[in-house]
Amino acid sequence: MGKLKIEKSSKANDTVTRTIRISGKTFDKINELAEKNDLSFNSVINQIIEYGLSNLED
């Protein structure tokens, strides 16, 4: 499996608002990625989720 590459992307029009809980350590890592790549926190979260879903083992 290749590594996740955070990319600038367009906003999706079909979004759903949902509350999740993540650890503070994970939040800090994601927030750092977002700032480093000049992206929103949500954009990074969505890319991480899409990558994970696309690379699930059967």
- Which pLDDT score is estimated for 8? 84
| Mean pLDDT value across the chain | 90
Answer yes or no: are the C-beta atoms of 20 and 54 closer than 8 Å: no
User: Considering the entire predicted model, what is its pTM?
Assistant: 0.80
- Give the relative orientation of helices 41-54 and 24-36 as an angle to the nearest 10 degrees: 110
Residue 14 pLDDT > 80, yes or no? Answer: yes
**What secondary structure letter does DSSP report for 38?**
T
Please state the domain extents for the chain. Answer: 24-54
Answer yes or no: are the C-beta atoms of 27 and 44 closer than 8 Å: no
Distance CA 3, CA 48 (A): 11
- Place 6 in a pLDDT band, splitting at 50, 70 and 90: confident
- Which pLDDT score is estimated for 31? 97
Residue 33 pLDDT > 80, yes or no? Answer: yes
